[in-house]
Structure 1
Amino acid sequence: MHAMQYEITLPADYDMGIIHRRIATRGHLLDGHPGLGLKAYLVRERGLDGSPVNQYAPFYLWRTVEGMNAFLWGPGFRGVGADFGRPVVRHWLGAGLRRGPAAGAPATATRQAVLLPEGADPAEAVGHALAELPDHPDLHTAAVAVDPDRWELLRFALWRDAAPDEVPGTRYRVHHLSSPELDRLPAGRHW
């Protein structure tokens, strides 16, 4: 599994209806994309849920590198570049996945990225993060991933309703979920 995200931060007075329409008209295009576990169409709006910015920040869990490459080098990502300029694409190696009991379309997401201290054992930190994946009735899906270039640990979760207050991280609203191969992503630890 590979996690990927790019964030397009928009002006404070940007009409976020443009992003909502973009997702409504184009979101379905990845509903059957080969190799894609899930794409959560994430949005932050200034003044909502404590967000200081307007942002379009899709998050992906890829089942295959081929699927990820087909997206990045194909027409979908070219459209993002044509409309907003080519964003920096963050990438993490998948370390584990938990499927939650909440079915249907998630309404919110949380993402927390922390740098591992230099003396920390990465395997121990990842194991600890996996053990701490939320076990909550509103959880749809949760993942742990690592960027070994920066030794950054990522926790990502999708929620049926509002994320629980005790869950740390950046909060997003989910405007669409494409999940053609989510059921083929292995649950549990990925090594």
Structure 2
Amino acid sequence: MHAMQYRITLPADYDMEIIRRRVASRGHLLDDWQGLGLKAYLIRERGVHGSAVNEYAPFYLWNTVAGMNAFLWAGPFQGIADDFGRPSVRQWTVLAREGAADPRVRVAVLLRQQVPDGVQLTDLAADATRETERLAGEDGAVLAAAAVDTSRWELIHFSLWENEPPKAGGDAYEVLHMSVPGRLPLDARS
């Protein structure tokens, strides 16, 4: 399983209703995308949840590399590149995932952490799994995942919440839409 995100930072005076309308009209296009576990259409709005920026930042969990590659190279991602310029696309390998995707979520949290030099990688994976289980067990949590980018040695914790998450750090996003093909639990073994 792979995690993926691109972030598009928008001007401070950008009308975020433009993004809301975009997602309302196009979000359904990935609802049945082959190989996609979930796509959370995320925004941060300046002054909301402590955000200093306006940002459109969809987050994906892919069950297959083929599905991810088809999205990036066979059409849909071109619309982002055409409308906003080609953003950097971050990718992580998923270490753990708990919970099932639910299209009714309202908030997502993404916490980034550097992996310190000298840490035992087996300990890192075990700790990330425990934190994923802890987050998924919190009241209001729907899904939690941990993933690592080994080119930067960055660990991320991603979580989805019914409403407001507990104050735990990280960037909080409003979820505008969820594409969850088949409405099945994600396959963490892929």
Q: TM-score when scaled to structure 1?
A: 0.93
Preserved contact between residue 45 and residue 54 of structure 1 (Cα < 8 Å):
yes
Code of the aligned partner of 2:27: G
Question: Tell me, which stretches of 5 or more residues in structure 2 are unaligned?
Answer: none
Q: Superposition pairs for residues 146-161 of structure 1, below 5 Å? A: 146-161=148-163
The runs of at least 4 aligned residues of structure 1 exceeding 2 Å deviation read: 181-187
For 1:21, the equivalent position in structure 2 comes to 21
For 2:111, the equivalent position in structure 1 comes to 112
For 1:12, the equivalent position in structure 2 comes to 12
Q: Residues 182 and 144 from structure 1, CA distance in 2 versus in 1: closer, same or farther, beyond 3 angstroms?
A: farther
Code of the aligned partner of 1:180: P
Instruction: Please give the alpha-carbon distance, in whole angstroms, between the structure 2 residues aligned to 1:164 and 1:113.
Output: 17
Matched, 1:48 2:74: no
SS at match of 2:181: coil
Instruction: Please give the alpha-carbon distance, in whole angstroms, between the structure 1 residues aligned to 2:105 and 2:185.
Output: 19
For 1:170, the equivalent position in structure 2 comes to 171
Instruction: Please give the alpha-carbon distance, in whole angstroms, between the structure 1 residues aligned to 2:116 and 2:24.
Output: 41
Question: Tell me, which stretches of 5 or more residues in structure 1 are unaligned?
Answer: none
Instruction: Please give the alpha-carbon distance, in whole angstroms, between the structure 2 residues aligned to 1:46 and 1:164.
Output: 20
Q: Cα RMSD between the aligned structures?
A: 1.7
Q: What does the per-residue CA deviation read over 1:117-170, in whole Å, with 9 as the maximum and x for residues that have no partner?
A: 1111122112112102211231111101110111111100000001112x2211
TM-superposed deviation, 1:83? 0.1
SS at match of 1:132: helix
Q: Residues 6 and 103 from structure 1, CA distance in 2 versus in 1: closer, same or farther, beyond 3 angstroms?
A: closer
Matched, 1:121 2:111: no
Code of the aligned partner of 2:124: A
For 1:34, the equivalent position in structure 2 comes to 34
Preserved contact between residue 97 and residue 146 of structure 2 (Cα < 8 Å):
yes
Aligned residues: 187
Q: What does the per-residue CA deviation read over 1:45-95, in whole Å, with 9 as the maximum and x for residues that have no partner?
A: 001111000000000000000000000012210000000000000000011
Preserved contact between residue 126 and residue 153 of structure 1 (Cα < 8 Å):
no
Code of the aligned partner of 1:130: T
Q: % of aligned pairs identical?
A: 51
Instruction: Please give the alpha-carbon distance, in whole angstroms, between the structure 1 residues aligned to 2:160 and 2:104.
Output: 9
Instruction: Please give the alpha-carbon distance, in whole angstroms, between the structure 1 residues aligned to 2:187 and 2:28.
Output: 24
SS at match of 1:66: helix
Q: TM-score when scaled to structure 2?
A: 0.93
For 1:185, the equivalent position in structure 2 comes to 186
For 2:66, the equivalent position in structure 1 comes to 66
